[in-house]
Amino acid sequence: MSTTPTRSIALTRKQDAAIRAAVASGRGTGAREVVRAAWRRRIGRQGAMPGARPAGERRDIDRGSV
């Protein structure tokens, strides 16, 4: 039994397409890896768990560039 917490999330079609494109282009071996890498980059930019989104981040997420 794993002690790693898991989450089930709902994605927009654009977010799903961005994840699929990242996997297809070789930026990750699977959706899990792509999402984890994006989350690590987001946390790294903010230094901690976010309380508010930086300006423009929502646009980046919608475009699939995060």
pLDDT of the residue at 48: 57
pTM: predicted TM-score of the whole model, two decimal places: 0.61
Q: Is 18 exposed, middle or buried (0-12, 13-18, 19+ CB in 10 A)?
A: buried
pLDDT at 12 over 80: yes
Count of beta carbons in the 10 Å neighbourhood of residue 26: 7
Say which residue, 4 or 11, is predicted with more confidence.
Answer: 11
| Residues in CB range of 35: below 8 A, 6 or more apart | 19
Q: Give the list of residues 6+ apart from residue 29 with CB closer than 8 angstroms, or none.
A: 23
Domain ranges of the chain: 13-63
| Per-residue pLDDT at 62 exceeds 70 | no
Q: Are 18 and 24 in contact (CB under 8 A)?
A: no
Tell me the per-residue pLDDT of 36-50, one tens digit each, with 9 for 90 and over. 999 898 888 776 555
